[in-house]
Amino acid sequence: MTINEVDVVVVGAGFGGLRSLYALRQLGKTVQVLEASDGVGGVWYHNGYPGARCDVESYDYSYSFSPELEQEWVWSERYATQPEIMRYIGHVVERFDLLRHIRLQCRMEEARYDEQAGCWLLRCSDGSQWRARHLVLAVGQLSAPKAPQYPGQSRFAGQTIHSAVWPKQPVDFSGKRVAIIGTGSSGMQMTPVIARQAAHLTVFQRTPNYSVPAANAPVSPEEDARVKAHYRQRREQAWNSPTGLGFMPGKKSALQATPEERAQVYEAAWNRLGFGFALTYFDILLNQAANDTAAEFIRHKIASVIDKPELRDKLVPKNHAFAARRPSVDSGYFQAFNRDNVELADVREFPIVEFTEKGIRTTAKEHEFDIIIFATGFDAFTGSLLKPEIVGRQGLTLRQKWAAGPVTHLGIGTSDFPNLFVLVGPGSPSLLSNVMVSIEEQIDWLAALIRHMDAEGVVEFEAEPEAERAWVEHVNERAKETLYLTTDSYYNGAEVKGKTRVFMPYSGGVRGYRRFLRQCAEQGYSGFALRKVPLASQVAAVTEQASA
Ligand code: NAP
């Protein structure tokens, strides 16, 4: 069997993988992207459910590497829909001639580090094999869908769909009785859209979620021109903001403001800022009492748009701090429950007992459905990283190495796995940031590292165990300063039963994180061992000398 040789293999053809391909090809490297699906786009390719749209503003959720691309692409809405994002991805792929480096329907099943040669050997589902100095895992943090298994699930005679494996053919909801299980961002986005089409919709809720209004709107030609005239400044602002969204935290504590001032500030932010609402005061995510003021405001807002008094108490979130688990940015989610064809099923009050041939039986009653949708989320951060067999030094697998939770230096590399780059991985701002900013930041840093390696004749880079211990400790210390640890969420591994509970993203912000990346590079990539001869070859040479 032929082994294909390239400089870099990138796994995944989503936003991260495509940006990696572009940046590394610019370096003059031969790059091969391996993508398991039959199309590019990563999570956006699969999450085609009705109402799917980005909850980061379109102008910020787009690549910044090409001013020409920035200027020529026209976003039609403040928050782009999934089809529009897919059109953007298609445009990028074509404009930069990326497709010829991408192999579709090719799942990397095994990656094994050849310690003597200092390169990775990959085996894929289509039988192809690859050898590459560098392996970039751009597999996404929310790309391993998960769904509960209920007794009798296979008995259900209707259609079941997962939000993250949405069929490519349109699903016709007209006249149908539909169930949505899960009320995270996906469930909240699809609810109002499906409610308008279906005969009846039942939303199964376990935890009521906070949400702020998207205030989505078409982008006028004037606004487009205004943004494009100052795009660089807008990017600078995003790069220098804590979340990469361009919002700077308020200078004041929520507790320093009078109730009247707070009401004014929150009101002004409510229909305008989306996620920026969480930054109106600097301590909303740092101090419970400060958070309570924002949470109370949101609860009041949510309750005020729900007509049915009996639903208000159920839909209003109360048992966790606002934004301690990811809130949603919605377009009419709560208002959808004012419709006569929409019903809420609270699974904490009446748990799901089983699926039946006709639908779902809870402890209260049997609901009959034609379509059941799982909007139950993902095995976040590590799900897709730990799916393939990734074998580092001495037969150690990544699953073994991360059994007690992911360990990385700067969220990028892990010891015993040289020349492996985890893009937007655990230990980096990833899901606590505008992921587009984080992707570009990290991949440009990797490109600079590879340039440095080439210039210095370095063939192997590897995180040092001491550096990764210190980084994990730093990630934990920063998390302790926040309210993220006060509730269960996918940030801390609570979304999958039995998953190790550790806090995974870096909560120190995009700007702070960039300082660490810069410092690391300026100090000759401190915390990473850079070797001109692979470690194993050095050891072999010493052993040979000793025995000669
Ligand atoms: P999610 O936020 O993890 O939400 C999953 C939902 O399913 C939660 O309500 C959860 O309840 C519920 N659930 C899980 N298992 C259940 C069970 N056994 N019984 C009943 N309910 C169950 O997943 P998601 O909505 O797919 O969103 C995931 C992330 O994707 C978002 O946080 C966001 O980062 C990203 N996303 C982004 C966009 C965008 O616009 N950029 C859009 C959609 C999603 P509990 O809360 O009780 O666990």
Instruction: State whether the beta carbon of 141 lies less than 6 angstroms from ligand 1.
Output: no
Testing ligand 1's pocket by substitution, the residue of 77, 245, 376, 436 carrying the most ligand atoms inside 8 A of its CB is 376
pLDDT at 1 over 80: no
Given a cut of 90, is residue 207 above it in pLDDT? yes
Question: For the whole model, what pTM was predicted?
Answer: 0.97
pLDDT value at 537 more than 90: no
Nearest alpha carbon, ligand 1 atom 14: 376
Ligand 1 contact via 55 beta carbon (within 6 Å): yes
Token pair belonging to 186: 């996906």
Structure tokens at 277: 């609402």
Q: Which residue's CA is the closest to the ligand 1 atom numbered 41? A: 54
Task: For ligand 1, say whether the CB of 183 is within 6 Å of any of its atoms.
Answer: yes
Copy the structure tokens of residue 143. 């790309």
Among protein residues, the one whose CA lies closest to atom 15 of ligand 1: 376
Note the helical H segments in 79-170.
82-95
Token pair, residue 209, equals 């979620």
Instruction: Let me know how many helices (H) and strands (E) the chain has, helices first.
Output: 16, 20
Angle among Cα 16, 142, 47 to the nearest 5 degrees reads 90
Closest-lying ligand 1 atom to the alpha carbon of residue 489: 48
Q: Which residues pair with 159 in a beta bridge?
A: 371
Mean pLDDT of the chain: 97
- Our answer on whether the CB atom of 186 is closer than 6 Å to any ligand 1 atom is yes
- Give yes or no for residue 49 CB within 6 A of ligand 1: no
274 CA distance to ligand 1 centroid (A)? 18
Rounded-to-integer distance, Cα 129 and Cα 5, Å: 9
Q: Mean per-residue pLDDT for 308-315?
A: 95
User: Separation of 223 CA from ligand 1 center, angstroms?
Assistant: 33
Rounded to the nearest 5°, which phi and psi values hold at 108? Answer: -70, 120
DSSP state of 178: E
* Percent of the chain scoring above 70 in pLDDT: 100
pLDDT value at residue 78? 95
Residue 532 has pLDDT above 90, yes or no: yes
163 lines ligand 1 (CB under 6 A): yes
Q: Which atom of ligand 1 is nearest to the CA of 377?
A: 23
Question: Is the confidence at residue 548, as pLDDT, over 80?
Answer: no
What was the pLDDT predicted at 547? 80
Nearest CA to ligand 1 atom 36: 185
| Measured distance CA(206)–CA(56) in Å, rounded | 25
Q: Categorize the per-residue pLDDT at 24 as very low, low, confident or very high, splitting at 50, 70 and 90.
A: very high
Under the banding of pLDDT at 50, 70 and 90, the label for residue 540 is confident
Instruction: Dihedral sign for Cα 171, 173, 174, 177, please.
Output: positive
Q: CB of 326 closer than 6 A to ligand 1?
A: yes
Residue type, 168: K
Give the pLDDT of residue 345.
98
Quick: pLDDT tens for 467-486: 999 999 999 999 999 999 99
**CB of residue 187 inside a 6 A radius of ligand 1:** yes
Q: What angle do CA 355, 360, 366 make, to 5 degrees?
A: 125
H/E stretch holding 17: helix 15-26
Interval 123-162: pLDDT, tens: 999 999 999 999 999 999 999 999 999 999 999 999 999 9
DSSP annotation of 361: E
pLDDT category at 544 given cuts 50, 70, 90 is confident
Q: What is the mean pLDDT of residues 293-312?
A: 97
- Determine the average pLDDT of the residues in 217-241: 96
Give the whole-angstrom CA distance, residue 264 versus residue 262: 5
Ligand 1 pocket member 182 (CB < 6 A) = yes
How is 58-72 classified by DSSP, letter by letter? TTTSS--S-HHHHHH
> HEC states along 364-405?
CCEEECCEEEECCCECCCCCCCCCCEEECHHHCEHHHHCCCC
